[in-house]
Chains A and B, each alone.
Chain A
Amino acid sequence: MTSTPASTHASMPSGQRSPNASPPVSPPAIELRGISRAFGPVQANREIDLSVMPGTIHGIIGENGAGKSTLVSILYGFYQADEGEILIDGRRVDIHDSQAAIAAGIGMVFQHFKLVENFTVLENIILGSEKGALLRPVLAKARRELMDIEREYELEAPPDAKIEDLSIGQRQRVEILKALYRQARVLILDEPTGVLTPAEADRLFAILRRLRSEGKTIILITHKLREIMEVTDTVSVMRQGRMLATVATAATDIEELAERMVGRKVSLQIDKPCACLGDTLLEVENLHIETGTETPASPLAGIDFSLRAGEILGIAGVAGNGQSELLEVLAGYRRAKGSVRIKGCEVALSGSGIDAGSRRAAGLAHIPEDRQGVGLVMGFSVEENAILGYHRSFGYGTGALMDRSAIRSEAKRHITQFDIRPPDPGRAARDFSGGNQQKIVVAREIGAEPDILLIGQPTRGVDIGAIEFIHRRIIALRDAGKAILLVSVELEEILSLADRIMVMFGGRIMGERPAKETDERELGLLMAGVV
């Protein structure tokens, strides 16, 4: 086994041959030579070299903006490389559009599925590869072929079900079947586990291993280091548009990969002192959302919990099980029935009395899940976003006029305290990276010095350096005696931050565990609704 090369630009073949000791006679299933691509002044990919041997699972990791998406788009013909060449099974191919990529044997499973939701599984699978102009014979033939593929790879999907009725995991299997139906030999998956439960992710990995045993080559693009360690044979790290190193997975570990990815040492373990519990600040009893006029996607069916000063209560669960609705009710922009007490005072949950402003006045702040839609006005500058929702209470000006210089100095304070980059208070929120957008929101809500902080998906789409930073701030807030309710679909995040963990499923609390006494396995079962 090779040890990981310390410098950049590792020469690929030497790092490649080690896994599984497979016979190195055949050419790489896919090989990139010197791929570069610029968008205006931004060099998204710089001289990327990569070679992946057939029948292996290769991981590519990198932070947001490292150039992974660009590379994927080049491989699938959405963009053309400025320079460099792509070889499939040793033959040079010109991938000028998706059709060419499919013809070259490349199949792609995108992070956001490319499925027509009101079409059936079978219709989605044949779309674009219909063998004939009339649908009936085409569908009948495809049905038989699909059954063969399903048998061969032990994968199944109900052919006549509409996509909109399928679970996320099933939709992903349809995407994989689509690629196999097009006879893909190289399957590329972009952030495939972002939306899956741990059980579904395990199932996906089993499918990938099965595909590997059938000789398929798999490229897994992710920022989740744990997955890389679990399922890949070899792994490459991307940073700032470059492919840094390719190593055998067995010869490295999570810490080392994280360090390479970020370019400095990062601590993934969060050290936190024991919680010193204070008064109960938030009490929730028998919370329901009425179905009817404004039917929510997932209704709440009787939620009870309480939250004390100085603790982080984590709410785990697969997205869409009522967590979002719970946050919206507590933050004051969704009606509900039941009882919520903030610092002992009952708050209105329905009627005209509910609004987010009065919740803020009561000492409750909210970092929304959807930062681009709810947390920020994307076209506003950092300054304007810095006072959003607090524009009345902070004394930013008198009456109808705003005091620009006071607002600017507040925004500058946020920028320095939260390391928002680039440090330009006049720049529009949409021109920042996901991590920095999140910092703008976090800075505002923490800056308001709330007693209770609701946090939804604090690190979704945020790169690892910013994750570390945001986690530290959350812990610091807890240690300052604030009460924190943390909703996240990332189990690791919940496990490392929370003191207590509740799991939501189907609008109910499935169970509560002290964070120290539980693990991913137990929580994963609760998340799937198994008690």
Chain B
Amino acid sequence: MSELAADLIPVLDSTLRLSTPLLLACLAGLFSERAGVFDLGLEGKMLAAAFFSAAVAFLTDSVWTGLAAGVLASVVLALLHGLASISFRGNQLISGIAINFLAVGMTAMIARSWFGLGGHTPALEGGSRFDALHLPFEGIVAQVPLVGPLYAELISGHTILVYLSLALVPMTWWIFYRTRLGLRLRAAGEAPDAVETAGISVVGLRYIAVILCGVLCGLAGAYMATGLHAGFVNEMTAGRGFIALAALIFAKWRPWAALWSCLLFGFLQALSLRPDLFERHFSIHLQLQLLDALPYILTVVILAGFVGKAIPPKACGVPYVKGGAG
């Protein structure tokens, strides 16, 4: 039993690391969609951020400059989405998909032209990567049975973006339910005409939401290239933007539930890295491919509506036309 527990800690440890990009992207989607802008382009924004953060981090040898570049790239794409879907009232799904294609092509092309390595950046090392943070008293607490390993191996030793993403959950909740901005954002996603008649600009609010979405996607992408991995690889986000959307639906657009659903997806991803555990503890031989597919299978199950009714914000996906309906 304790053997299983000892094996579980590394799995939970990687759950935390693998959940982080999902959680950041999921919160990004939450901001955007709660304000009424559907965003299929989370994936593309993450990918662009992953590339630019890795590339700039490599070129400047500073992970922080890289992070800034990644966030900037993501925000630029977010503004493009805003321009298409808020200002020009275009179809939000199509705009999102276009951004995904744009990001795939653009990152591969620029990577080739800058580094000539077949579409990825050189491996990052030293100051161009996020280091693990070691929490205080790690060495001492590690001696304590049970709590010690949990603290030292699971809680301590992650990059700063992991802790930031966890801290963003209560912050997001607080913004949405305790501040004026949150009230207005939620109203913009539910009844934009009520917002406009109250004398507030729906367009302005939705741009704020879309920009925040861009910042968070930027963090997610930068984390993938400079925290989770050491550099950019072609299409490295591998559908995480879409998994984050599924997690968002599973969470019914609520911040705390987003944390739990992203941890679930992260756990499945972590499991797929350790097929040996199933053999050792349960004597089941699982196909590696099946394990790999688990997060995606869960995504399909969630989107097919097997997990109860998820009602999106009422005006989500509907371009707002001032004085329109009447």
A345 contacts chain B at the CB level, 8 A cutoff: no
Q: Which residue of B lies closest to A103 (CB)?
A: B199
Beta-carbon contacts under 8 Å, B169-200 to A: 177-184, 186-187, 190-191, 193-200
The answer to whether A130 and B190 have CB atoms under 8 Å apart is no
B326 within 8 A of A: yes
Which of A69, A102, A132, A138 lies in contact with B199, CB distance below 8 A? A102
Please state if A130 and B180 are interface contacts (CB–CB under 8 Å): yes
Rounded to whole angstroms, the CA-CA distance of A101 and B199 in the bound complex is: 8
Residues in A with CB closer than 8 Å to B182 are 135
Task: Report the bound CA distance from A91 to B154 in whole Å.
Answer: 68
* Interchain residue pairs A-B with the least CB separation, the first 5: A128-B198, A99-B199, A78-B323, A114-B194, A114-B197
Separation of A93 and B195 alpha carbons in the complex (Å): 22
Within the complex, the shortest CB–CB distance from B310 to chain A, in Å, comes to: 14
A123 interface residue, CB < 8 Å from B?
A: yes
A12 to B200, CA, bound (A): 34
Find A110's partner among B183, B187, B199, B326 (CB 8 Å cutoff). B326
Interface residue B290 (Cβ < 8 Å from any Cβ of A): no
Tell me how far the C-beta of B252 lies from the nearest C-beta in chain A, rounded to whole angstroms: 12
- Contact indicator B323/A133 (Cβ below 8 Å): no
What's the interface size class on A, roughly? Answer: 35 or more
Residues of A within 8 A of B181 (CB): 133
Tell me the nearest residue of chain A to B313, going by C-beta: A118
**Interface pairs (11), CB distance under 8 Å:** A100-B199, A102-B199, A116-B186, A117-B190, A117-B314, A119-B187, A127-B195, A128-B199, A129-B198, A133-B180, A134-B179
Residues of A within 8 A of B140 (CB): none
- Judge if A390 is at the interface, Cβ distance under 8 Å: no
Q: Mark A108-140, 1 if CB is under 8 A from B, else 0.
A: 101110111111000110111110111110100
Chain A residues with CB below 8 A from B322, complex form: 78
Which residues of A lie under 8 Å from residue B200 when comparing CB positions? 99, 127-128
Compute how far the CA of A73 lies from the CA of B314 in the bound complex, rounded to whole angstroms: 24
Interface, chain A (partner B; CB < 8 A): 69, 73, 76, 78-79, 97-102, 108, 110-112, 114-119, 123-124, 126-130, 132-136, 138, 178
* Residue of A76, A112, A127 touching B187 (CB-CB under 8 A): A127
Please name the residue on chain B nearest to A78 by beta carbon: B323
State whether A117 touches B191 (Cβ < 8 A): yes
By DSSP majority rule, is chain A's interface helix, strand, loop, or mixed?
loop
A135 touches B178 (CB 8 A): yes
**In the complex, what residue of chain B is closest to A178 when comparing beta carbons?**
B198
List of A residues within 8 angstroms of B190 by Cβ = 116-119
Which B residues are in CB contact (< 8 Å) with A69? 326
- Residue in chain A with minimal CB distance to B182: A135
B307 touches A (CB below 8 Å): no
- Report if A136-B183 is in contact (Cβ < 8 Å); known contacts: A73-B326, A116-B194, A128-B200: no
A73-B323, A128-B199 as given contacts; A134 in contact with B194, CB under 8 Å:
no
Contacts beyond the supplied A114-B196, A116-B187, A123-B183: 4 A-B pairs with Cβ under 8 Å? A102-B199, A118-B190, A130-B180, A134-B179
- Cβ of B147 within 8 Å of any chain A Cβ, yes or no, is no
A132 to B323, CA, bound (A): 27
Q: Give the Cβ gap from A354 to chain B, nearest Cβ, in Å.
A: 27
* Any A CB within 8 A of the CB of B325: yes
| Nearest-Cβ distance from residue A101 to partner chain B, whole angstroms | 8
Contact for B194 among A79, A124, A133, CB less than 8 A? A124
Residues of B within 8 A of A (CB-CB), count:
25
- Residues on B with beta carbons closer than 8 Å to the beta carbon of A178: 198
CB-contact partner of B180 in A79, A97, A114, A135, under 8 A = A135
Instruction: Give the interface SS of chain B, mostly helix, strand, loop or mixed.
Output: helix
Whether A112 contacts B325 by the Cβ 8 Å rule is yes
Q: Evaluate contact between B191 and A135: CB separation under 8 angstroms.
A: no
* Residues of B288-326 contacting chain A, CB below 8 A: 314, 322-323, 325-326
**CA A117 – CA B200 in complex, angstroms?**
18
- Minimal beta-carbon separation of B23 from chain A (angstroms): 25
Min CB gap A129→B, angstroms: 7
Residues of A within 8 A of B314 (CB): 117
Least distance between A139 CB and chain B CB atoms (Å): 9
> With the chains together, A101 CA to B196 CA distance in Å?
12
Min CB–CB distance A420 → chain B (angstroms) = 24
Residues of B at the A interface (CB closer than 8 Å) are: 177-184, 186-187, 190-191, 193-200, 314, 322-323, 325-326
- What is the minimal beta-carbon distance from B206 to any residue of chain A, in angstroms? 15
- Whether A127 and B179, one on each chain, are in contact in the complex, defined by CB atoms closer than 8 angstroms, is no
**Contact between A108 and B183 (Cβ–Cβ < 8 Å)?**
no
A102 to B314, CA, bound (A): 26
A128 to B181 Cα, complex, angstroms: 10
A79 cross-chain contacts in B, Cβ below 8 A: 323
Find out whether the CB atom of A127 lies under 8 angstroms from the CB atom of B177. no
Cβ B323 vs Cβ A127 within 8 A: no
Contact (Cβ within 8 A) A133 B197: no
Q: Which of B178, B193, B199, B325 neighbours the largest number of chain A CB atoms within 10 Å of its CB?
A: B199
Given contacts A79-B323, A102-B199, A128-B199, contact A114 B191 (CB under 8 A): yes
Known interface pairs A69-B326, A119-B187; A132-B193 also in contact (CB < 8 Å):
no
* Smallest CB gap from B322: residue in A: A78
C-alpha spacing A117/B179, complex, angstroms: 19
* B177 nearest in chain A by CB position: A135
CA distance A123 to B177 in the complex (A): 11
8 Å CB contact of A134 from B180, B187, B197, B326:
B180
Expressed in whole angstroms, the Cα–Cα distance for A135 and B184 within the complex equals 11
User: Are the CB atoms of B191 and A136 closer together than 8 Å?
Assistant: no
B179 lies within 8 A of A97 (CB): no
| B-side contacts of A102, CB under 8 Å | 198-199
CB distance from B180 to the nearest CB of A (A): 5
Nearest CB of chain A from residue B202's CB, rounded to whole Å = 11
Chain B residue nearest to A100 in the complex (CB): B199
The answer to whether A130 touches B193 (Cβ under 8 A) is: no
Q: Which residues of A contact B199 (CB under 8 A)?
A: 97-102, 128-129
Q: Check if B183 sits within 8 Å of A127, measured CB to CB.
A: yes
**A residues less than 8 Å from B184 (CB atoms):** 127-128
Q: Which residue of B lies closest to A130 (CB)?
A: B180
Output the least CB separation between A195 and chain B (Å).
Answer: 15
- Once A69-B326, A73-B326, A136-B178 are accepted as A-B contacts, the answer to whether A114 and B183 lie under 8 Å apart by CB is no
User: How many angstroms between the C-alpha atoms of A191 and B116 in the bound complex?
Assistant: 68
Residues of A within 8 A of B186 (CB): 116, 119
Cα distance A178–B199 in the bound complex, in angstroms: 12
A residues less than 8 Å from B183 (CB atoms): 119, 123, 126-127, 130, 135
Complex CA gap A101/B197 in Å reads 10
User: What is the bound-complex CA distance between A110 and B183, given in angstroms?
Assistant: 22
Whether the pair A116, B326 counts as a contact (CB closer than 8 A) is: no
Q: Could you tell me the distance between the alpha carbons of A118 and B190 in the complex, rounded to whole angstroms?
A: 8
Docked pose: A114 CA to B196 CA in angstroms: 9
| CA of A112 to CA of B193, assembled, Å | 10
Chain B contacts for A76, CB-based, 8 A: 197
Decide: A115 near B194, CB < 8 A? Known: A78-B323, A102-B199, A128-B200. yes
Q: Knowing A133-B179, A134-B179 are in contact, say whether A110-B323 is a contact too (CB < 8 A).
A: no
Alpha-carbon distance between A136 and B183 when the two chains are bound, in angstroms: 11
The CA of A127 and the CA of B180, in the complex, are separated in Å by: 8
Q: Give the residue name and chain of the B residue nearest to A113 (CB).
A: B194
B197, A98: Cβ atoms closer than 8 Å: yes
Closest to A102 in B: B199
Given contacts A129-B198, A138-B180, are A114 and B193 in contact (CB under 8 A)? yes
Give chain B nearest CB distance to A229 CB in angstroms: 26
Q: How far is the CB of B216 from chain A (nearest CB, A)?
A: 21
**Residue with the greatest number of chain B CB neighbours at <10 A, chosen from A79, A126, A129, A135:** A135
